[in-house]
Chains A and B, each alone.
Chain A
Amino acid sequence: MKSFRRYIDKIKPQFEKGGKFEKLHSSFNAFETFLFVPDTVTKSGSHIRDAMEMKRAMSVVVLATIPALLFGMWNVGFQHFLSIGQDAGLWTEFLFGFIQVLPIIVVSYVVGLGIEFAFAQFRGHEVNEGFLVTGMLIPLIVPPDTPLWMVAVATAFAVIIGKEVFGGTGMNILNPALTARAFLFFAYPQDMSGDKVWIADKADAFSGATPLGDALVGDPISASVSDMFFGFIPGSIGETSTLAILIGAAILLFTGIASWRIMLSVFVGGLLMGLIFNAWGMNGYMNVPAYTHLIMGGFAFGAVFMATDPVTATQTSRGKYIYGFLIGFLAVLVRVLNPAYPEGMMLAILFMNVFAPLIDHYIVQSNIKKRLKRLKTINIELK
């Protein structure tokens, strides 16, 4: 490691002002800070530095997705061997899924980081770490048989139109990973229908209905509640196992990166809407027990990893309750009432992303008004 550090130091002057590769400065900087702790010291004024900066926060989120990812890889293999009627054992199943899923992750990272680097280079910014999480989330929310070129196109669309157009990480209105998913959903609906996904080899393409698909056509849900909770069901790579997602949620909450207010209120909103439908009970889908909505499809994944994205969520504490509640509420509403969109979670989160600044605005305004009023009453009393 030391010799590597020395090598970096040796080539560094070439990337600084006046050096041979001055233009590539931001790429070099990105690699250097990715590998080593930067040695720049604050020189003027006083700054309070927290150990938690963006790079570390992003790494923790990536870490939190690992249980869902590992489980997803195994589940891809498990579903494959299940559909061809074999019992292959844990490691063979995992290996099959690993080989299936790894290229998607690689493509997502290569395309996304490539574009990020190109933009940073072009604009003379520093490359920042925003894509590390997005690049991991995109593979987790696509079906395992998504063609790689589609993943590449969707990632490019999400990074350029979803993020760079607005000014890069931290400036985006919509969650980039969900933008990629929405792009795939609307552009290639046949591959991405949400109610049926591939679970077997391409040679004998066989689609298994997901629980969402069952519920949509009014069939009783074929998977048991425990299967849905532990995730032994077909579905997008990272979303099937509520348990694995909850482990991730625990990591995020323990480190304080994700907001518990949002997570909690998403689940409450979904549960409440489910109960309202239960009370209404017009058709089979409305009678689905409310709690199953929380473990079916991408609900839990969206609540834990997507809704809590600090950039696109609301910033005020009260706003977070409203934002989360409406996400859960709308997700179940879309699921049950709109047969064209079997998975309402994606649309609900994107929709509320758009409204987040508005919610914040009104909460800030009402605070200002309240304080002005308080000030007025104090003034009157003083007189």
Chain B
Amino acid sequence: MSTEKVKREPLFSTKYRKLLTIPIGKNNPITVQVLGVCSALAVTVKLEPAFVMALSVVVVLTIANVLISLLRNGIPPRIRIIVQLVVIAALVILVDQVLKAFAYDVSKQLSVFVGLIITNCIIMGRLEAFAMANKPWDSFLDGLGNAAGYGVILIIVAFFRELLGSGTIWGIQVIPQGFYDFGYKDNGLMILPPMALIVVGVIIWVQRSRNKELIEEN
């Protein structure tokens, strides 16, 4: 008669919400952990590929996190990296095929960088640090949050780079022709990768000056 009722946490309790929101802001994978910067520099010349890239990472990281979390008790610790890689690689190949089938142009623009999601440190990092030790729902939120944190930065960087570098947003001309007639020119430096690094740096600068606890003591 004594069926002890296990107290279940509501699906969106504060703890769960934090799993989702902290990686977007205070513990952002790009600006705070400085992971996955390589692809952030490579795919952010235009907004559209950056968005697709962000979406791909969201899909891969969320599903991989859940799968690894489900498998976590059956994975022998010695070969866990291989198992994680198999899961990520399978998902990345799926995403790559879907992109090739339904968004061929963007897939061509992204070229090898879709395949290189496999090596994105954020994904391996989350699987190893979080999914291996947490339940599926937690892992789902954590994966979603981290991928979203990555995606948000990608989109901000791509927005500025496309606007200032090509005068367009999502391929649509937004800087009026009158500006060009007046002597305005697109900034060629914005299209080069170093400027992506500088834009990321500026985002880090702004974030740290708004959020003092991120500043390291030295």
Contact = CB atoms under 8 A, between A and B. Distances in A.
A165 B197 CA distance: 14
Nearest to A161: B198
A187 B161 CA distance: 12
A186 B192 contact: yes
B102 interface: no
A15 interface: no
Nearest to A183: B189
A147 B205 contact: no
Contacts, number: 23
Contacts of A124: none
Contacts of A153: 187
Nearest to A164: B205
A291 interface: no
Contacts of B188: 186-189
A147 B188 CA distance: 16
A344 to B, nearest CB: 19
B77 interface: no
The residue among A150, A187, A189, A191 with the most chain B CB atoms within 10 A of its own CB is A187
A163 to B, nearest CB: 13
Interface residues of B, number: 12
A149 interface: yes
Given A147-B183, A149-B183, A165-B205, A187 B198 contact: no
Contacts of B187: 153, 187-188
Interface string A172-197: 00000000000100111111000000
B163 interface: no
Interface string A121-153: 000000000000000000000000001011001
A186 B201 contact: no
Nearest to B185: A188
B181 to A, nearest CB: 13
Interface string B197-209: 0100110010000
Contacts of B123: none
Contacts of B185: 150, 188, 190-191
A188 B187 CA distance: 6
A189 B185 CA distance: 11
B190 interface: yes
A153 B183 CA distance: 14
B190 A187 contact: yes
Nearest to B205: A165
A198 to B, nearest CB: 14
B12 interface: no
Nearest to A184: B189
Contacts of B205: 165
B201 A165 contact: yes
A96 B28 CA distance: 55
A144 to B, nearest CB: 16
Contacts of B183: 147, 149
The residue among A150, A153, A186, A191 with the most chain B CB atoms within 10 A of its own CB is A186
Nearest to B188: A187
B212 to A, nearest CB: 14
Interface string B113-133: 000000000000000000000
A149 B184 CA distance: 8
B83 to A, nearest CB: 42
A295 B151 CA distance: 51
A121 to B, nearest CB: 15
Nearest to A190: B185
A153 B192 CA distance: 17
Contacts of A150: 185
Interface in A236-269: none
B108 to A, nearest CB: 26
B184 A187 contact: no
A189 B190 CA distance: 12
Contacts of B198: 161
A190 B187 CA distance: 11
Given A149-B183, A149-B184, A187 B201 contact: no
Nearest to B165: A187
A161 B205 CA distance: 11
B189 A186 contact: yes
A93 to B, nearest CB: 26
Contacts of A189: 188
A118 to B, nearest CB: 14
Nearest to A187: B189
A283 B201 CA distance: 43
A363 B198 CA distance: 31
Nearest to B184: A149
Contacts of A161: 198, 202
Given A147-B183, A183-B189, A186-B189, 7 more contacts: A150-B185, A161-B198, A161-B202, A165-B205, A187-B188, A187-B190, A188-B188
Q: Considering the complex of A and B, which 3 residue pairs feature the smallest CB-CB distances, nearest first?
A: A187-B189, A186-B189, A187-B187
Interface of A: 147, 149-150, 153, 161, 165, 183, 186-191
21 contacts: A147-B183, A149-B183, A149-B184, A150-B185, A153-B187, A161-B202, A165-B201, A165-B205, A183-B189, A186-B188, A186-B189, A186-B192, A187-B187, A187-B188, A187-B190, A188-B185, A188-B187, A188-B188, A189-B188, A190-B185, A191-B185
